[in-house]
Amino acid sequence: MMDKKRRGDRRDGRWIRDIDGFHVVMMNLFPNRTESEVYSKEQFDVTALLNLVEEQNVLNPALRTKAFHVFVAAIAKTLWHRELLNRFVAGRRMYQRDELSFAFVVKRQMEDHAEELLLTMKVDGDTTLDDISRIILGDTKVLRESGKNELDSTINLFARMPRFVQRMAMRIFRMMDFYGVMPASLTEGDTNYVSVLLSNLGSISCDATYHHLNNYGTNSVMMTIGVIHKEQIVGSDGLPVVRDVVNFGINLDERIADGFYFAKSMKLLRYIIEHPQVLLQPLKEPVDYDGE
């Protein structure tokens, strides 16, 4: 159970009061998220993952589990056990986010000018891979059929305002964002206020790329997922082997943790993706991996 909120905490996070001086200096030297970005491109062997997807769809064809669902579950499990990745910097302070949340863009149709819709979702320690598949498929269907989420009407209203009103409104929004007093009506459903922002480029047959973070909001982790393809890699025995692989483009706010923590977290993510059976258990179940 989380401690009671104290003065200085935000609605969406707890102020880390005992942070070391080095990180305090970093938050003042680099107050903007876009000047604190660390990029990484990782390649994962997804042969076992694709086998798991096939097995799950035989056991429960109505669920229609996809590789993307497994990727989301793997990232969620990583953040659950590596909680510093679920921190953010706002107003030159460090916060631990209260919830674990994800966001991605859904196109209503696979056409050039098709409308893009925003989808956000939350998970907890009891969430499983099956739960994530149900959430994504259910919310995506509702979103495509309705053509909007709760935030869309606010965005459309803002877009119809005169430019000088838009500029004034954004100044007010940024000030509220700095002091952590943004109302829930303006942050719920906003992809800038989630733990991880995902872009599934593989769904449009593109490879992973690097995507910037935003200075607005609290999002500290951005990942793009490329198309799954066959490639010759070096196997565990040191010999070349052809496997199914996927590339991730990962962008992190370096102020939330150090390089050692990031490296160990990526090692955990790799283990989960390459041993996806661990995702059949709730996210809170520990993973026995060599993280040293």
pLDDT, mean over the chain? 88
Q: What's the whole-model pTM score? A: 0.88
Average pLDDT over residues 6-26: 90
Query: Mean pLDDT highest for which of 35-44, 56-65, 199-208?
Result: 35-44
pLDDT of residue 1: 44
Please list, in sequence order, all residues whose beta carbon lies within 8 angstroms of the beta carbon of residue 168, skipping any fewer than 6 positions away: none
In angstroms, the CA 200 to CA 208 distance is 8
Each domain of the chain, given as residue ranges in start order, spans 32-151+188-280
Average pLDDT over residues 205-221: 93
pLDDT tens by residue, 231-269: 998 887 888 999 999 999 999 999 999 999 999 999 999
CATH number, domain 32-151+188-280, options 3.20.20.70, 3.30.559.10, 3.30.930.10, 3.40.640.10: 3.30.559.10
In angstroms, the CA 267 to CA 88 distance is 21
pLDDT at residue 195 greater than cutoff 90: yes
- Would you call 172 exposed, middle or buried from its count of C-beta atoms within 10 A (0-12, 13-18, 19+)? exposed
pLDDT of residue 23: 87
3-state secondary structure of 128: coil
Report whether 121 contacts 139 (CB < 8 A).
yes
DSSP string, 67-122: HHHHHHHHHHHHHHHSGGGGEEEETTEEEEESSEEEEEEEESSSSTTPPEEEEEEE
Average pLDDT over residues 132-136: 90
The strand pair at 100-107 and 196-200 is best described as: parallel
* Reported confidence tier of residue 110, pLDDT bands at 50, 70, 90: very low
pLDDT at residue 3 greater than cutoff 70: no
Average pLDDT over residues 198-221: 92
